[in-house]
Structure 1
Amino acid sequence: MWPIVWTAMRTYAPYITFPVALVVGAVGYNLEWLIRGTPPPAPEEKGILEQREDRKLEELSGRDLTQVTSLKERLEFTPRAVLNRNRPEKS
Structure 2
Amino acid sequence: MWPIIMQFLRSNAPYITLPVAAIVGVIGYNLESLLSDRYTPYNKPVQDQRLERLTDEEVLKDPTNVQKLKYKENVLGKNVSPSLQKN
* Unaligned ranges ≥5, structure 2: 64-87
Partner of 2:46: 48
Shift of 1:22: 0.9
Shift of 1:46: 2.1
Q: TM-score, normalising length from structure 2?
A: 0.50
- Provide the aligned C-alpha RMSD in A: 3.0
Q: Does the residue aligned with 1:62 lie in a helix, a strand or coil?
A: helix
The number of residue pairs the alignment matches comes to 63
Q: Does the residue aligned with 2:61 lie in a helix, a strand or coil?
A: coil
Q: Which amino acid aligns with 1:17?
A: T
CA distance in 1, matches of 2:31, 2:40: 22
CA distance in 1, matches of 2:38, 2:17: 36
Which has the larger displacement, 20-29 or 8-17? 8-17
Q: TM-score, normalising length from structure 1?
A: 0.49
Q: Which amino acid aligns with 1:59?
A: E
Shift of 1:44: 2.7
Partner of 1:26: 26
- In our comparison, the structure showing a higher alpha carbon Rg is 1
Shift of 1:40: 5.9
Partner of 1:61: 59
Shift of 1:20: 0.6
* Unaligned ranges ≥5, structure 1: 66-91
CA distance in 2, matches of 1:40, 1:28: 15
Which has the larger displacement, 27-36 or 12-21? 27-36
Deviations 1:7-65 (A, max 9, x none): 543331111001111111111222222223xx364333123332222111101123338
